[in-house]
Amino acid sequence: MKVQHILVPTDFSARSEKAIEMAGAFVDFFGCTVDLIHTVPLLKYFHESMDPLGVPFSLEKHLYPHCLEIAQKKLEDLAEKYIKKEYRGNMITHVERKASEMIAEQANKGKYDLVLMSAKGEHDTVHVMGGTTEKVIRHSHVPVLAIDDDHELDEIKNIVVPVDFSDSSFFAVVPAFELARELNAKLTLLHVVELYSAGSDMIPYVPTTVDEQPVYENIIAKLSDYLLKHEQYKLYLQRTGVIFEDVLISSDGANTNSVDVETKVIKGISAHYEIADYANDHADMVVMSTHGRTGLARVFIGSTTEQVSRQISKPLLTVRPQFYEEPVEN
């Protein structure tokens, strides 16, 4: 996962300012260009533009430019505060009814490597993650990193990647490896065995004890097969001989890099609950695919990533599998 061009949305709240601050840290690690974007809500635009104006006023000269000029100045001030001058990109302002649509559209057309944004904006929600961020994750073809509070990149030492044996879930291992390599972190592959996934009518027949080692061996075998099928990643898994502990290695002929990998197999009633619970206690960052075992859209990665995104308090990077295509809407 190259990180050369980042898009950072902001609504000028304190929370969204933290995302800009983290973008400044990305500059230190990756030397990337950072664009800031602010979308003025349509109703707020008209209210704030008309409020200080008397009548008569010119629609073209006064009404439309007013909020955008203020937003542009705020973006420039934030960029000056957090982003080194040589890495500051475009300061983008728009008037739009739905901020999420404009952010996703800009991300998809702008050749970005990452969208970095606050998990919540100016207004609190009952969930950890706000509605705008959820919608950006749904529609962005670009990886989205959502952060909730203060997080330091150099403090990220354990990156958790939930896997479910599908190619979609293994797709997330590659960008997770690349981040772990740059941040000098380890990876934890997390698999949840849902004890009663067969349904309540099958509970008497589903064992509540699961041998973790065969599950681990299956995960490692399928991940190794996935990496062999995708030689373009130049990534392979090396066994250490220690159960649950392996090494991912990348080699392009000239350079070789490695990241330690731990595999955790846990049992529970609900995958999304167990993932969020484990991550909140043990992870410094979580990387997940936006589509899981079924490969179906269900609008937003089935239920698992959606539920995890609402419950997690750690940075969450969501990536869209390259082979996934948006369903055609009638």
Residues 6+ apart with CB under 8 A from 155: 284
CA distance 268 to 194: 5
Q: Residue 102 belongs to a domain with what CATH number?
A: 3.40.50.620
Contact 315, 321 (CB under 8 A): no
- Compute the average pLDDT of residues 165-193: 94
Same domain? 161 vs 143: no
Q: What is the per-residue pLDDT across 153-172, written as a single tens digit (0 to 9) for each?
A: 989 999 999 998 889 899 99
**Average pLDDT along the chain:** 83
Place of tokens 């330091």: 152
More confident call, 195 vs 57: 195
On whether both 222 and 121 belong to a single domain, the answer is no
Domain shared by 259 and 188, yes or no:
yes
- Does residue 138 sit in the same domain as residue 160? no
Determine, yes or no, domain membership for 94: yes
Q: Same domain, yes or no, for 39 and 59?
A: yes
Examine residue 327 and state whether it is found in any structural domain, yes or no.
Answer: no
Q: In this structure, are 170 and 311 located in the same domain?
A: yes
The total of other beta-carbon atoms located within 10 Å of residue 167's CB is 18
**Total number of domains in the chain:** 2
Together in a domain, 104 and 213: no
Burial of 231 (0-12, 13-18, 19+ CB in 10 A): exposed
Question: Whole-angstrom Cα distance, residue 279 to residue 264?
Answer: 12
Model pLDDT for residues 285-316, shown as the tens digit of each residue: 999 988 655 433 333 344 677 788 888 889 99
* One domain, residues 99 and 227: no
What stretches of the chain adopt beta strand conformation (E)?
5-9, 33-41, 88-96, 114-118, 144-147, 158-162, 186-194, 235-242, 245-251, 256-268, 285-289, 316-319
Full residue range of the structural domain in which residue 14 is found: 5-147
Q: Is 322 helix (H, G, I), strand (E, B) or coil?
A: coil
Q: Per the confidence metrics, is the pTM higher than 0.95?
A: no
Helix axes 14-30, 64-82, angle to 10 degrees: 50
Q: Are residues 23 and 165 in the same domain?
A: no
185 and 312 together in one domain: yes
Whether residue 223 sits in one domain with residue 297: yes
Q: Which of 126, 147, 168 is the last residue of a domain?
A: 147
Give residue-wise pLDDT tens across range 212-223: 999 999 999 999
Contact 13, 122 (CB under 8 A): yes
* Domain contains 223: yes
pLDDT at residue 181 tops 70: yes
The verdict on 105 and 170 lying in the same domain is no
